[in-house]
């Protein structure tokens, strides 16, 4: 029940921010919306890059879980998964999820909405939205700034949901429409990331990949991002 309340509160606050944007519409509103969407895309790529390559903690049995040979629907795997997840921090669980997604990409598409976006909402998106709503309420600011914040927060909060839609065959009409408009990337474009794990980390629209790819290459060359981090190790 509390999960639905968190999601409903976030959407309500986003509605308030959208109201501030609509109350002061101008020609700057439209580029601001696109700029916010770009920032959300870049954030999805940078976070994805770090999570992919940040090493999982050794000695926690995550390698056995990652390479589990049997069915992941079995009671044995489910019990093992719960035990391993209890032994690590929330941040480490998120890192593991990113790595586990690579050999089993469609698993992400099967997860429910809360599993995909819950941590982002609670840790970042909802607190930021509440803070911005207060700022816009007490201080007169241009509508284009509210539009920028609305677009960026919406894209950031639901980035992992958008990522999940790239890994399932059936999606809502609005997802298919956003892809046709270029606001969301296609599964074919995202496949370039899975083919190499060294490029195209952004998973919303992919507009920022041209900037993030050189950043990754430079960090990888300097050993700041190491291939050993791509899988859990004993």
Domain boundaries, the chain: 19-230
Q: What is the mean pLDDT of residues 98-123?
A: 87
Q: Are 146 and 21 in contact (CB under 8 A)?
A: yes
Count of beta carbons in the 10 Å neighbourhood of residue 151:
23
Global pTM value: 0.91
Mean pLDDT of 49-56: 94
Residue 195 in this model has a pLDDT that exceeds 90: yes
Q: Which pLDDT score, from 0 to 100, does residue 228 have?
A: 93
CB-based contact 77:68 (threshold 8 Å): yes
Residue 61's pLDDT is what? 86
| pLDDT score of 107 | 81
Cβ atoms of 155 and 32 closer than 8 Å: no
pLDDT band with cut points at 50, 70 and 90 for residue 72: confident
Q: How confident is the model at residue 1 (pLDDT cuts 50, 70, 90)?
A: confident
Has residue 234 got a pLDDT over 80? no
Share of the chain above pLDDT 70, in %: 100
Tens-place pLDDT, residues 17-36: 999 999 999 999 999 999 99
pLDDT higher than 90, residue 105: no
pLDDT for the residue numbered 23: 94
pLDDT, position 133: 95
Tell me if 18 sits within 8 A of 68, measured CB to CB. Answer: no
Mean pLDDT, all residues of the chain: 93
Report the range of poorest mean pLDDT among 35-49, 88-102, 208-222. Answer: 88-102
In sequence order, the 6+-apart residues with CB closer than 8 A to the CB of 84 are 60, 61, 62, 65
pLDDT over 80 (residue 123): yes
DSSP string, 157-180: HTHHHHHHHTT-S---HHHHHHHH
Is residue 158 very low, low, confident or very high in pLDDT (cuts 50, 70, 90)?
very high
């Amino acid at each position: 029940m509390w999960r639905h309340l968190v999601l409903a509160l976030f959407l309500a606050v986003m509605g308030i921010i959208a109201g501030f944007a609509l109350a002061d519409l101008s020609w700057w509103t439209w580029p601001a919306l696109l700029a916010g969407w770009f920032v959300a895309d870049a954030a999805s790529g940078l976070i994805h890059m770090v999570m992919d390559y940040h090493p999982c903690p050794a000695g926690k049995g995550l390698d056995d879980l990652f390479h589990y040979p049997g069915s992941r629907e079995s009671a044995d795997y489910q019990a093992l998964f719960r035990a391993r997840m209890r032994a690590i921090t929330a941040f480490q669980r998120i890192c593991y999820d990113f790595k586990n997604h690579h050999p089993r990409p469609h698993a992400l598409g099967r997860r429910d909405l809360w599993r995909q976006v819950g941590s982002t909402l609670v840790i970042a998106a909802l607190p930021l939205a509440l803070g911005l709503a207060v700022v816009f309420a007490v201080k007169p600011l241009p509508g284009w700034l509210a539009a920028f914040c609305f677009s960026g927060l919406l894209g950031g909060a639901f980035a992992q949901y958008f990522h999940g839609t790239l890994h399932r065959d059936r999606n809502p009409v609005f997802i298919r429409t956003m892809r046709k408009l270029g606001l969301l990337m296609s599964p074919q474009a995202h496949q370039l990331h899975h083919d190499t794990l060294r490029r195209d980390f952004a998973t919303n629209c992919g507009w920022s990949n041209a900037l993030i790819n050189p950043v990754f290459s430079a960090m990888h060359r300097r050993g700041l991002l190491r291939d050993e981090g791509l899988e859990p190790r004993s």
